[in-house]
Chain A
Amino acid sequence: MLRVCLKGANSAARKCLCGNGVPLHPLQQCRSYTSGGSGSSAGKIVAASVLTMGGGVGGTILYANWDPKFRANVEKSIPYSDQVFGLALGPAAPPPVINKPRKVEPVQISSMSEVWKDSKQPKAKEVQRKAEQPDAEGPPAPAPQETLEAAAKCTECEHEPAVKERPEGEVAARLAEQDKAEQDLLTSLSSNLEDALGSTAKVTLQAIGAQEAALQAIAQHTRQLREAMEAEAPPDKKSTQWRVLEDALSERSRSVDEAGAAVLKAKAELDKLRGVIDGAKHLKIAAARPSILAAEENLHSMVVDLDSVVTRVQTAQSEAKIVSQYSELVNEAKAQFQKELNSITPEIQANWKGLRKLTQDDLNSLIAHAHRRIDQLNRELAEQRVREQIHIDSALEQQKLEDKKALEVAISTALEHNREQMRLEQEKKVEETREVMEAEMRTQLRRQAAAHTDHLRDVLKVQEQELRSEAEEILNSSLMEKETEYRRLTQDQLDSFTLDMNAAYARLKGMEEAIDSHVIAEEEARKAHQLWLSVEALNYTLKTAALNDPTEPLEGAVQAIKESCAEDEFAQALATALPSESLSRGVYSEASLRARFYTIRQLARRVALIDETRNSLYQYFLSYLQAMLLFEKAQEAPPAKLSAEDLDTFKLLSYAAYSLEHGDLELAAKLVNQLKGESRRVAQDWLKEARLTLETKQVVSLLSAYANAVGLGTTMAP
């Protein structure tokens, strides 16, 4: 940008040059033009600088958006930049926090088995009690039924989710109630059944009797009919015979009707009985089952008998029909013949006895008629034979059909009877198996009860043992406590006695020691005196320091000290603690150090700015300038605590000067030790000397203090 401006300026200048074509004072003119042009170029410069700054700031913000570390750096170095960043970008993202995964709590599974076990036990007890109760009672039949009922009830109760144990009395009362109810029901049922059975039996017997009577009547009728037809009785007898026959017929019809009515009634009764039995079956009482079964069997037998009788009657009836048909036919034929005979020979009476009076013609005609009749009859016979064949065939067919029908009916009835029979047998078998099962269940329950008692016995045994062991433990622990108590008391007594003895002994010892120590003290006093003398010699050597030269070497005096207190370890240690330089070369006095300090100070002031980073010649120049221009107090009292701003070279030097003037070489050395950089290097020598002096002085003062103390300690008051 600057180059562009410069170019612009140059071009403007050149233009002015070319424009005017005056080579004289081009710079001046150009200057005027450039000054004029500088206005626009100034604006350009301003714009360019603004753009640059904006670009820089924008670039910084963008980069800070991308790199959070850079953003942190910038925020640290440039104040208020964090606010700018906050405005532009929003707050800095905090470091990511890793959440510990929540632990899933384990699911509690509750088992129903305990509840069921608890429920099973009381139920078993109930069952046991119930089993015992009916055993005391009368018939065993209700007992298995009741236990069955109880067991059935138990199973039902177990399946319920909330089981509560009913109290014993209530259970017994409930059971008694249930028993009574069942008994009542049973008695009512059985009475019902018996009544129904009785009535049906009566009615069936009646029906059967009626049927038998009908059978008898039919048989008699047929017999009589046959007799009547076959026997050729005289007419008067015949009429009686026919009358008798008629009576017999009427008798037969009547009896048949009666029988039919009776059968209907019996059938109705049987149906009623079947209904009652079904109702009893629906009640589902086990004890009634045998009676029900018996009733059913009775019913079945009655039905069978009735059916058989009915079939017999039917066959008899069919036979009678045949016979009657036959008789009818015969009668018809006879009548026909009589009519023909009458027609041919009207004068001949029905009676054949008058045949003698007949003439030959009559006889011939009669014979011819008879021949014709015979022919006719023969023809008829032949025809009849043929027709008979056909009729027989048709009759056979019909008979076959009828037979088939009858067969079917018979088969169906027989099947039904069979089915009925089998069902009854099955029911009987079921009944038997049920009884067996109940007996088995009873034995199992008894076994369970026995197991329960065994278990109880075991548990009691275990508990007894546990309790016994507990009691023993308690006994043992109390015994031990008492024992320890006793032991403690005896020990206390012993201890007190020992203490007294020890005290007496200690006193004796003390006295002996006091006497010995006196002797030792005398010795010590002598030694201390010697030590003190040698330390004084050392002190004297220290004072021999000239203004700028070190003292004499301290070696001789130290040697004397070492000889004088050969056994004293402290003194020996201190003597050896003197720095070797002081022994060989000697130390400077405080005054010389003080004098030297001022030169050092000047020098340090001059190089105050120089340290590891700033050490070019230019820095030296600056440092000299600073030293010339900066005025600090010559001496300033140092504070108790040095703060950060007190670590400035000039301040430190003034503090050190002050402390030196006040005789505190140690503090001055400490302060000078705080110098940094080149100033420190410059003052290093002086610091070393100061340290040496301080060390030596410290050791010497310790020694003298020690000697004084020892001397004090050993002086005995008169």
Chain B
Amino acid sequence: MAEEQGRKWDRCLADSAVKLATGLGVGIVFSVLFFKRRTWPVVFGLGVGLGMGYSNCQQDFRSPYLLHGHMVKEQ
């Protein structure tokens, strides 16, 4: 249980890095292809990547506390 924190952090960082890179890549691609080498798609892609990574991290850390509810339909 104590190591789980460490493992989570590792996962999180790795995942974030990957996402960031992917975002960067996609941003560069879009910037080059569609937006005339502007800066903003890159930044946008970076932001998207970071955001996704952050969100995934958060989800991972939150996962023990999430409650899964079931909707019971009235028969």
Binding site for B on A (CB under 8 A): 599-600, 603, 606-607, 610-612, 615-617, 620, 681-686
Contact = CB atoms under 8 A, between A and B. Distances in A.
Contacts of A616: 58, 62
Contacts of B5: 603, 606-607, 682
Nearest to A599: B2
A686 B57 contact: no
B65 interface: yes
A162 to B, nearest CB: 82
27 contacts: A599-B2, A600-B2, A603-B2, A603-B5, A606-B5, A610-B61, A611-B65, A612-B65, A615-B58, A615-B61, A615-B62, A615-B65, A617-B54, A617-B58, A617-B61, A620-B61, A681-B1, A681-B64, A682-B1, A682-B4, A682-B5, A683-B1, A683-B2, A684-B1, A685-B1, A686-B1, A686-B2
Nearest to A685: B1
A160 to B, nearest CB: 84
A402 B47 CA distance: 160
Contacts of A599: 2
A682 B2 contact: yes
Nearest to A617: B58
B59 to A, nearest CB: 10
Contacts of B4: 682
A599 B1 CA distance: 12
B63 to A, nearest CB: 9
Interface string B5-33: 10000000000000000000000000000
A610 B61 CA distance: 10
A620 B54 CA distance: 12
Contacts of A607: 5
Contacts of B64: 681
A682 B5 CA distance: 8
A397 B43 CA distance: 166
Contacts of B2: 599-600, 603, 682-683, 685-686
A617 B57 CA distance: 7
B47 to A, nearest CB: 16
Contacts of A681: 1, 64
Interface centre among A603, A606, A683, A686 (most CB of B within 10 A): A603
A617 B62 CA distance: 9
A700 to B, nearest CB: 27
Nearest to A677: B65
Interface string B52-75: 001001100110110000000000
A597 to B, nearest CB: 11
Closest A-B pairs by Cβ, 4 of them: A685-B1, A612-B65, A615-B62, A617-B58
Given A615-B65, A617-B57, A683-B2, 11 more contacts: A600-B2, A603-B5, A607-B5, A610-B61, A612-B65, A615-B61, A617-B54, A617-B58, A681-B1, A681-B64, A684-B1
Interface centre among B2, B5, B58 (most CB of A within 10 A): B2
A685 B4 CA distance: 11
B25 to A, nearest CB: 24
B35 to A, nearest CB: 28
B6 to A, nearest CB: 9
A145 B64 CA distance: 120
Nearest to A620: B61
A222 to B, nearest CB: 143
A681 B3 CA distance: 11
A617 B53 CA distance: 11
A684 B5 CA distance: 13
Nearest to B64: A681
A607 B54 CA distance: 18
Nearest to A600: B2
A677 to B, nearest CB: 9
Nearest to B60: A617
Nearest to B57: A617
A681 B2 CA distance: 8
A610 B57 CA distance: 15
Nearest to A615: B62
A146 B7 CA distance: 132
Nearest to B65: A612
B12 to A, nearest CB: 9
Nearest to B63: A615
Contacts of B57: 617
A23 B27 CA distance: 36
Nearest to A688: B1
Contacts of A685: 1-2
Contacts of A611: 65
Contacts of A682: 1-2, 4-5
A599 to B, nearest CB: 6
Nearest to A612: B65
B51 to A, nearest CB: 11
Contacts of B62: 615-616
Contacts of A610: 61
Contacts of A603: 2, 5
A312 to B, nearest CB: 131
A124 B54 CA distance: 118
A615 B65 CA distance: 8
Nearest to A610: B61
A146 B34 CA distance: 147
A681 B61 CA distance: 12
A707 B23 CA distance: 71
B8 to A, nearest CB: 10
A354 B4 CA distance: 211
A683 B5 CA distance: 11
A454 B35 CA distance: 136
A616 B55 CA distance: 9
A335 B74 CA distance: 159
Contacts of A617: 54, 57-58, 61
Nearest to A684: B1
Contacts of A600: 2
B40 to A, nearest CB: 23
A608 to B, nearest CB: 13
A611 B62 CA distance: 9
Contacts of B65: 611-612, 615
A170 to B, nearest CB: 97
A302 B68 CA distance: 137
A682 B2 CA distance: 5
A257 B1 CA distance: 167
A611 to B, nearest CB: 8
Contacts of A615: 58, 61-62, 65
Contacts of B58: 615-617
